[in-house]
């Protein structure tokens, strides 16, 4: 039986690792907070639902592509389907802010724009959205990042940013 005045004795080596672990958790929390608030890192959001069987027949995804909302502000509707993206090419001027709305009409796909922080899982029936600003001219290829069948390697496109 132990007395109520006894304290818990922790080896100094173990105490050092406990303190180091707590400090790391605090540092990770600070880093994630800074990244999320000051560096523009976004979590892809589900902004709507569509019927994957009829998504290509009516609505915004019947004619996917780029729409100018205001000078320098665009929205792009991208439809992922067995084994291609529609549209396969998007052209915007340098400095443009583009909100991508992506959905799938068949199976799970991925949508990653190279050299950016945009990477979205595309699920049938859900519309995912992320906004990105293209500050440098050039070509930004986009690819499918989820294996979707035999033609997966042919599933790509590009964003062209002009001066």
> Which residues partner with 79 through β-bridges?
86, 103
Q: Classify residue 3: in a domain, yes or no.
A: no
Do 75 and 136 belong to one domain? Answer: yes
Q: Residue 78 sits in a domain of what CATH number?
A: 2.60.40.420
Do 95 and 36 belong to one domain? Answer: no
List pLDDT tens digits, range 83-98.
Answer: 899 999 999 999 999 9
Q: Classify residue 27: in a domain, yes or no.
A: yes
Of 103, 111, 102, 88, the closest CA to residue 159 belongs to 88
Q: Classify residue 52: in a domain, yes or no.
A: yes
Task: Give yes or no for a contact between 72 and 140, defined as CB atoms under 8 angstroms apart.
Answer: no
Do 18 and 71 belong to one domain? Answer: no
Q: Write down the pLDDT at residue 4.
A: 61
What distance lies between CA 108 and its chain's CA centroid?
14
3-state secondary structure of 142: strand
Do 35 and 54 belong to one domain? Answer: no
List pLDDT tens digits, range 124-136.
Answer: 999 999 999 999 9
Do 35 and 51 belong to one domain? Answer: no
Q: Classify residue 1: in a domain, yes or no.
A: no
Do 109 and 82 belong to one domain? Answer: yes
Do 32 and 78 belong to one domain? Answer: no
- Written as six digits, the tokens of 8 are 């818990």
> What is the spatial distance between Cα 132 and Cα 145, in angstroms, rounded to a whole number?
18
- Written as six digits, the tokens of 101 are 């709305």
98's enclosing H/E stretch is: strand 96-104
Q: Write down the pLDDT at residue 44.
A: 72
Do 93 and 134 belong to one domain? Answer: yes
Do 71 and 30 belong to one domain? Answer: no
Q: Write down the pLDDT at residue 40.
A: 67
Do 20 and 95 belong to one domain? Answer: no
List pLDDT tens digits, range 89-126.
Answer: 999 999 999 999 999 999 999 999 999 888 899 999 99
3-state secondary structure of 19: helix
List pLDDT tens digits, range 2-56.
Answer: 556 667 788 889 999 999 999 999 999 999 888 877 876 677 777 889 999 899 8
User: How big is the chain by its Cα radius of gyration, in Å?
Assistant: 23
28's enclosing H/E stretch is: helix 12-38
Q: Classify residue 74: in a domain, yes or no.
A: yes
Q: Please tell me the chain's helix, strand, coil percentages from 3-state DSSP, rounded to the nearest 5.
A: 20, 40, 40
Q: Number of structural domains, the chain?
A: 2
pLDDT band at 144 (very low <50, low <70, confident <90, very high): very high
Q: Classify residue 2: in a domain, yes or no.
A: no
The whole domain housing 144 covers 45-162
> Cα torsion at 128, 42, 108, 85 (round to 10°)?
70
Rounded to an integer, the average pLDDT of 148-154 is 91
pLDDT band at 58 (very low <50, low <70, confident <90, very high): confident
Do 49 and 62 belong to one domain? Answer: yes
């Amino acid at each position: 039986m132990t007395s109520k005045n006894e304290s818990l004795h922790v080896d100094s080596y173990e105490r050092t690792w406990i303190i180091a672990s707590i400090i790391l958790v605090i540092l990770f929390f600070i880093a994630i907070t800074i990244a999320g608030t000051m560096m523009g890192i976004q979590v892809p959001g589900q902004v709507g639902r569509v019927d994957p069987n009829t998504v290509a027949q009516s609505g915004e995804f019947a004619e996917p592509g780029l729409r100018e909302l205001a000078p320098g502000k665009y929205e792009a509707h991208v439809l992922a389907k067995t084994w291609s993206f529609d549209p396969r090419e998007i052209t915007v001027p340098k400095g443009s802010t583009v909100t991508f709305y992506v959905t799938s009409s068949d199976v799970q796909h991925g949508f990653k724009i190279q050299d950016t922080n945009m990477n979205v899982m595309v699920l049938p029936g859900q519309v995912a959205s992320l906004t990105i600003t293209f500050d440098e001219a050039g070509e930004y290829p986009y690819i499918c990042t989820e294996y979707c069948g035999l033609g997966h390697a042919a599933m790509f496109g590009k964003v062209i940013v002009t001066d």
